[in-house]
Amino acid sequence: MIVAGLSAESSDNFHTSQSGYLLQSQPALPRIAMNNHPKTAFVTGASSGFGRAIAQRLLNEGWRLIISARRRERLEALAAAFPERCHVACFDIRDSAAIDSALAELPENFANIDLLVNNAGLALGTATAPQADLVQWRQMIDTNITGLITLTHALLPRLVTSRGLIINISSTAARYPYPGGNVYGGSKAFVSQFSLGLRSDLHGTGVRVTSIEPGMAETEFTLVRTGGNQAASDALYAGVTPIRAEDIAEQVAWIANLPAHLNINRIETMPVNQSLAGFQVHRE
């Protein structure tokens, strides 16, 4: 539905009635947990891209936020506008001792976690397997898999107590291989399958688990993957309207605000400019 004169900001305060009319509702109110505080979300990789947009969106909606990544200045810049509701937990997700310390240092009013968004992750390199760098392969596994499961394991008791929600950021690379995707795709396949496994294990606890699987999105992802090659990043997105970080934040906000009896297992999204194209055949 298109409504003339309705800005992106003001459209947040409207919803469509069952009969299709656009109704004005109250501005977003803080989500309230059972302890009568705003609900608390832990978002990893909040210094950039999806994570920053997700954190910003949830803060705007009234959530209490714990934001983590390695680049402290960026986290502090995001937290500055919400000093009461945003706690910076700066750590490298590959460092399990740093995760333990960060959790031990959480202020009391940030200790109950209702939502964990496992977003921190990266792809490194585009070489096919014979030319790939083993150090980069290990870093992807340490970050995308080991870091993710370590933090999840540490927070599971709190998520069970809160009957919370886990949203894991996977990728279309989890299901659709491409040359040079090797370990990155493998790590994301783990994330998608781990999400389903968690759902099975958490059966009966009320905890919900979703895997979000985006296709091509413009963030710092390609800059990181190519070791800071801005020209390569620009070339990849040239002439394309990729997914924006705010699009994924919208999905997270939607899932997080669903009634507690609904679980979205997975969401796969691509930009219209991207699609799938068959198998490759090598001929002698």
Ligand X SMILES: NC(=O)c1ccc[n+]([C@@H]2O[C@H](COP(=O)([O-])OP(=O)(O)OC[C@H]3O[C@@H](n4cnc5c(N)ncnc54)[C@H](OP(=O)(O)O)[C@@H]3O)[C@@H](O)[C@H]2O)c1
Residues at the site binding ligand X, with contacts judged by CB under 6 A: 45-51, 69-71, 92-94, 119-122, 143, 169, 171, 214, 216-217, 219-221, 224
Angle between helices 96-104 and 148-162 (to 10 degrees): 30
Cβ distance to ligand X smaller for residue 164 or 214: 214
Q: Is 114 helix (H, G, I), strand (E, B) or coil?
A: coil
Contacts of 236 (CB under 8 A, 6+ apart): 216, 222
Q: How far is the CB of 49 from ligand X (least distance, A)?
A: 2
Nearer to ligand X, 63 or 91 (CB): 91
CA triple 252-152-178, angle to 5 deg:
65
Cβ distance to ligand X smaller for residue 45 or 125: 45
Q: Shortest gap between Cβ of 281 and ligand X (angstroms)?
A: 27
Shortest gap between Cβ of 110 and ligand X (angstroms)? 18
Report which of 159, 78, 174, 72 is spatially closest to residue 111, judged by C-alpha positions: 159
Q: Closest residue (Cβ) to ligand X?
A: 49
Residue 88 CB, nearest distance to ligand X (Å)? 11
CB of 127 to ligand X, least distance (A): 18
DSSP secondary structure, 45-103, as one string: STTSHHHHHHHHHHHHTT-EEEEEES-HHHHHHHHTT-TTTEEEEE--TT-HHHHHHHH
Q: Which is nearer to ligand X, 12 or 142 (CB)?
A: 142
Q: Which residues are catalytic?
A: 184
CB of 33 or CB of 123, closer to ligand X: 123
E strand spans, the chain? 14-16, 22-24, 40-44, 64-69, 86-90, 115-118, 165-169, 208-214, 266-269
**CA-CA distance, 181 to 276, in Å (whole number)?**
15
The Cα–Cα gap between 210 and 178 comes to 24
Question: CA 65 to CA 51: how far, in whole Å?
Answer: 12
Amino acid sitting at position 200 = S
Residue closer to ligand X by CB (options 28, 122) is 122
- Give the Cα separation of 97 and 147 in Å (integer): 11
